[in-house]
Amino acid sequence: MSGLTHGGASHMFAASRHVERPFKRFMEAKMKVRNSLKSLRDRHQKNQLVRRRGRLFVINKVNKRFKARQG
């Protein structure tokens, strides 16, 4: 017999590791996710197209607001 005293239902009430931060999304700059990065790459002279972790990224070390991800 598995009852509550033997830890049978303790997994149902386990604490979540995810901490909800409702105002964090307004503080950090969002990255654009697009199907094609060619038009976003040409928006600024210093934009670079970089492959990291199997995804394509447009980054700009001079102006940080130019960033996008594909995949």
Q: pLDDT tens digit string along 1-32?
A: 555 566 555 556 566 666 665 655 455 567 77
Is the confidence at residue 71, as pLDDT, over 60?
yes
The pTM score is 0.52
- Phi and psi at 56, nearest 5°, equal -95, 135
Question: Tokens representing 20?
Answer: 């909800």
3-state secondary structure (DSSP) of residue 26:
helix
Beta pairing class for 48-52 and 68-70? unpaired
